[in-house]
């Protein structure tokens, strides 16, 4: 069993959805039943694989990569097919494997207009493969490929199945991300050429990787895209200014994906126009590729540059928190409001990251998962509201608790979770991130970070404001005349229950047992924090 998992576990987890997509292409368009079966079966198979991996994961050693796969891929540039699972990847892998089947269940009853479930689910499965691959890849080029593969399916999901402004939103999403990743790949290539073998203990660790690293001497050119090797190298041999510029390339790539202020403008459009399923996946998983990239790649590989960039990241994160919150207050569309709240919440994650401490990074990892679950649920609800009311205009909504009481309560639950109510997952994503800013890594400007902390705390008040305001206007009161006796407005149906109850359970469980993530990710981020000297 263990041998099988070691050799094939991660590969199967990544490629089972893709295999499902290929099977799907062979099924004729008319047999919707078979298509949906494959659409659910493939992510479930991947999830089963994932559960097996998690059961066999050595939690005592979660800082090191497990179930590693290492095969030759592009020899000429020494880029290899390296996969590995550690405490940092595991929560995000779990999140992806958890969300995608729920999205498929939610889509069971009807695929958004203009239909065509075959194409819809094929794209979703390809997207899942790309997302999982990004979280497991341990080679920069492999990561880049998976990272980019997420673009096209999402582009088509928004563009074909989206709202009225879908053409504009989809191309904006695409070009923005591509702009960032073009600079990211240039940064990766620069690392390849400039990084050198380190000295001391790091050199021993590097040699222990074997292969071409086995007889490296300090100062030898590394010529590698391996994340581990580059992390051990820690940008040895790269001048500080050069490292700062390279970090800038990555900052563009990851920061646009997060999205950080001022690169966030694609997000509200993409979210508002995307079909519900697309919004959920985008919010729950795709945004995390950016924050994950910072923690996994940018910071450990370029520690010196990371310290130089940390204040900028911190400031932009807090601007994002406040700006996103103020943006929320100005929205009239429920989905757009949730999208802006994403900008604000991802700000907390980035603030946690910018402290460069184990505590802050750990809070960021928790924040990613919590935001994935909560915002995913909010988008689900928004989608269902839209389906019933055919509008998301907050002014026209109201009285949800009367017309669809169960849905009203679930919306209430989700808003409470989102504003960070203790006992629910959202709290553990925000509060420790703010706390971490009190004591940033040694050498960072303490006064600055404490100011940021205060501002971020103000952000939570704003968050409570816009979320409660949203809830008040949509759920309280009486339904407006136009919807009073609308037969379309029904309560939560069984597919929605099936899709939502696991998320609700997840939010509660993580709220009461935050250790489930803190303890797994802790050791892994601690290693990273140590390399930055935090």
Partner 1 sequence: MIATLLQLLPEADFLSPTIDWHAIAPEMVILIGSLVLILLDSFKLDKAKPFMPTLASLVLLGALIPVITLAIDGSTRVLFGGSYVVDSMSLVLKALFLVSAYIVVLMSTNYVADGDYWESEYYSLIVAAVLGMLVMCSARDLLMIFVALELLSIPAYMLAAWRKGDEKSNEAGLKYYLMGVFASAVLLYGMSLMYGVGRSTRLDVIAENLVRIGDGRGAPIVTLAMIFVIIGFAFKVSAVPFHTWAPDTYEGAPTPVTAFLAVASKTAGFVALIQIVFYCFAARPDIIQPVFAVLAILSMTVGNLIALKQTNVVRMLAYSGIAQAGFMLAPFAVIETNREQALSSIVIYLVIYAAMNLGAFAVIIAITRKTRSAEITSLGGLFSYMPGLTVVMTIFLASLAGIPPFGGWYAKFGVWQALIGGNTALGYALAIIMAINTVVAAYYYLNVAKTMWFDEAPDGDTAPVKIPFTLIGAMGITVVATVMFGVLPGLLTNISDFSPVAAALGR
Q: Which residues bind partner 1 (CB under 8 A)?
A: 72-77, 119, 141, 144-146, 148-149, 151-152, 155-156, 159-160, 166-167, 170-171, 174-175, 178-179, 182-183, 185-186, 189-190, 192-193
Minimum CB distance to partner 1 smaller for 13 or for 341:
13
- What is the SS3 string spanning 110-174? CCCCCCCHHHHHHHHHHHHHHHHHHHHECEHHHHHHHHHHCHHHHHHHHHHHCCCCHHHHHHHHH
The residue count for the chain: 534
Nearer residue to partner 1 within complex by CB, 146 or 340 = 146
Q: Based on the number of CB atoms within 10 Å of its own CB, is 393 exposed (0-12), middle (13-18) or buried (19 or more)?
A: exposed
- Supply 385's token pair: 């509201």
Question: Cβ of residue 67: shortest distance to partner 1, in angstroms?
Answer: 22
Those residues whose C-beta lies under 8 Å from the C-beta of residue 511, and which sit 6 or more positions away, are: 417, 422, 423, 424, 425, 426, 427, 428
C-beta closer to partner 1: residue 211 or 533: 211
We find the least distance from the C-beta atom of residue 242 to partner 1, in angstroms, to be: 10
Q: How far is the CB of 525 from partner 1 (least distance, A)?
A: 28
Residue 67 or 174: the one with the smaller Cβ distance to partner 1 is 174
Quick check: 499 and 410 in contact, CB under 8 A?
no
- Nearer of residues 106 and 161 to partner 1, judged by Cβ: 161
Q: How far is the CB of 403 from partner 1 (least distance, A)?
A: 34
The nearest distance, CB 246 to partner 1, in angstroms, is 10
Q: Shortest gap between Cβ of 120 and partner 1 (angstroms)?
A: 12
In the complex, least distance from residue 373 CB atom to partner 1, rounded to whole angstroms: 29
Rounded-to-integer distance, Cα 294 and Cα 97, Å: 22
Burial (CB count within 10 angstroms: exposed 0-12, middle 13-18, buried 19+), residue 23: middle
CB of 182 or CB of 457, closer to partner 1:
182
Nearest to residue 105, comparing CAs of 287, 288, 280?
280
* Token duo for residue 258: 């997060």
Read off the tokens for 448. Answer: 């600055």
CA distances from 467 to 182, 334, 337 (A): 36, 10, 9
Instruction: Give me the least distance between CB of 128 and partner 1, in Å please.
Output: 15
Nearer to partner 1, 10 or 524 (CB): 10
465, with CB counted inside 10 A (0-12, 13-18, 19+), is middle
Q: Tell me how far apart the alpha carbons of residues 92 and 367 are, in angstroms, rounded to a whole number.
A: 11
Q: How far is the CB of 148 from partner 1 (least distance, A)?
A: 4
The smaller minimum CB distance to partner 1, of residues 15 and 379, is found at 15
Least Cβ distance, residue 411 to partner 1 (angstroms)? 31
CB nearer to partner 1: pick between 130 and 282: 130
Distance CA 275, CA 123 (A): 13
Give start and end residues of each alpha helix (H) in 27-116: 32-56, 89-106
Q: Among residues 246 and 361, whose Cβ is nearest to partner 1?
A: 246
Separation CA 374–CA 280 (nearest Å): 10
Rounded distance between C-alpha atoms, residue 132 and residue 194, angstroms:
29
Give min distance, CB of 113 to partner 1, in A.
Answer: 12
Minimum gap (Å) between residue 3 Cβ and partner 1: 26
Task: Classify residue 168 by burial, with Cβ atoms within 10 Å: 0-12, 13-18, 19+.
Answer: middle
In the complex with partner 1, the residue whose CB is nearer, 166 or 345, is 166
Rounded Cα distance, 45 and 34, in Å: 16
Q: Closer to partner 1 at the Cβ: 202 or 245?
A: 245
């Amino acid at each position: 069993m263990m041998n099988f998992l070691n050799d094939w576990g991660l590969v199967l987890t990544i490629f089972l959805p893709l295999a499902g997509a290929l099977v799907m292409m062979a099924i004729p368009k008319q047999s919707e039943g078979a298509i949906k079966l494959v659409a659910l079966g493939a992510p479930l198979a991947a999830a089963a694989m994932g559960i097996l991996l998690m059961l066999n994961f050595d939690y005592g050693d979660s800082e090191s990569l497990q179930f590693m796969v290492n095969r030759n891929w592009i020899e000429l540039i020494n880029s290899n097919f390296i996969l590995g699972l550690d405490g940092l990847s595991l929560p995000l892998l779990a999140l992806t494997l958890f969300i995608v089947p729920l999205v498929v269940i939610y889509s069971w009853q009807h695929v958004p207009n203009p239909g065509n479930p075959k194409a819809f689910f094929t794209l979703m499965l390809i997207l899942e493969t790309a997302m999982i691959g990004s979280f497991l890849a341990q080679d920069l080029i492999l990561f880049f490929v998976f990272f980019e593969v997420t673009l096209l399916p999402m582009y088509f999901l928004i563009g074909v199945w989206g709202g009225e402004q879908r053409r504009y939103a989809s191309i904006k999403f695409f070009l923005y991300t591509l702009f960032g990743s073009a600079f990211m790949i240039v940064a990766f290539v620069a690392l390849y050429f400039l990084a050198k073998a380190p000295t001391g203990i790091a050199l021993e660790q590097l040699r222990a990787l074997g292969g071409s690293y086995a007889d490296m001497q300090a100062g030898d050119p590394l010529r590698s895209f391996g994340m581990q090797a580059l992390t051990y190298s820690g940008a040895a041999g790269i001048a500080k200014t050069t490292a700062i510029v390279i970090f800038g390339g990555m900052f563009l790539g990851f920061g646009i994906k997060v999205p950080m202020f001022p690169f966030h403008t694609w997000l509200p459009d993409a979210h508002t126009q995307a079909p519900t399923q697309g919004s959920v996946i985008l919010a729950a998983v795709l945004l995390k590729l950016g924050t994950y990239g910072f923690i996994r790649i940018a910071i450990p590989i370029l520690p010196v540059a990371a310290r130089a960039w940390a204040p900028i990241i911190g400031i932009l994160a807090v601007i994002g928190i406040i700006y996103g919150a103020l943006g929320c207050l100005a929205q009239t569309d429920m989905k757009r409001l949730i999208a802006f709240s994403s900008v604000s919440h991802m700000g907390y994650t980035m603030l946690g990251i910018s402290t460069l401490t184990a505590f802050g990074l750990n809070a960021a990892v928790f924040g990613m998962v919590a935001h994935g679950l909560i915002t995913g649920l909010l988008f689900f609800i928004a989608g269902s509201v839209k389906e019933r009311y055919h509008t998301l205009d907050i002014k026209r909504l109201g009285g949800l608790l009367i017309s669809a009481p169960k849905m009203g309560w679930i919306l209430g639950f989700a808003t409470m979770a989102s504003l960070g109510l203790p006992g629910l997952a959202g709290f553990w994503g925000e509060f420790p991130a703010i706390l971490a800013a009190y004591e940033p890594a040694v050498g960072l400007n303490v006064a600055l970070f404490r100011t940021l902390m205060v501002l971020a705390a103000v952000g939570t008040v704003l968050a409570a404001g816009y979320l409660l305001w949203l809830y008040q206007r949509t759920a309280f009161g009486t339904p407006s005349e136009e919807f009073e006796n609308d037969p379309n407005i029904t309560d939560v149906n069984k597919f929605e229950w099936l899709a939502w109850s696991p998320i609700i359970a997840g939010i509660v469980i993580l709220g009461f047992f935050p250790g489930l993530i803190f303890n797994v990710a802790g050791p892994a981020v601690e290693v990273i924090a140590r390399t930055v000297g935090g």
